[in-house]
């Protein structure tokens, strides 16, 4: 199991964010964030962890354990930021419309493979 520090660093890298940018998004002082990412790797209080998770659009559980609470599986699949953005938007669309989009994506992928 990865540490909070490792999961936070991994998510920042994945999203292409700097600590300074995360600081701006959360209102948390950069030096405080550096403490969570540094050698001593302190763990933030719950309210700070929630702010960080919300700014990164991940769960606190993911930051702490490296696992996503919804899937109960490791979230180590590398997805490019544009695809992740699409998936986030897709998650907010009603299920019946998601099925239509899914079919369209599969048909498009199949036609490109032929």
Burial class (CB in 10 A: 0-12, 13-18, 19+), 59: middle
- Taking 3-state DSSP, the helix, strand and coil percentages for the chain, each rounded to the nearest 5, stand at 65, 0, 30
What is the arithmetic mean of pLDDT over 65-77?
57
Whether the pLDDT of residue 72 is over 50: the answer is no
Query: pLDDT tens across 1-16, in order?
Result: 678 999 999 899 888 8
Using CA atoms, how far apart are residues 31 and 29, in angstroms rounded to an integer? 5
CB count in 10 Å sphere of residue 22: 22
Predicted pLDDT at 41: 75
Average per-residue pLDDT for the chain? 84
Give the pTM.
Answer: 0.60
For 13-29, what is each residue's pLDDT tens digit?
888 899 999 999 999 99
């Amino acid at each position: 199991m990865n540490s909070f520090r490792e999961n936070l660093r991994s998510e920042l890298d994945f999203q292409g964010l700097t600590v300074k940018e995360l600081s701006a998004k959360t209102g948390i002082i950069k030096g405080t964030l550096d403490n969570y990412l540094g050698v001593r790797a302190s763990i933030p209080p719950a309210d700070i962890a929630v702010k960080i998770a919300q700014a990164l659009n991940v769960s606190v559980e993911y930051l702490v354990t490296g696992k996503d609470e919804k899937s109960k599986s490791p979230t180590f699949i590398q997805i490019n930021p544009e695809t992740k953005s699409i998936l986030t938007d897709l998650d907010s669309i009603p299920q019946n419309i998601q099925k239509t989009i899914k079919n369209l994506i599969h048909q498009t992928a199949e036609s490109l493979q032929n």
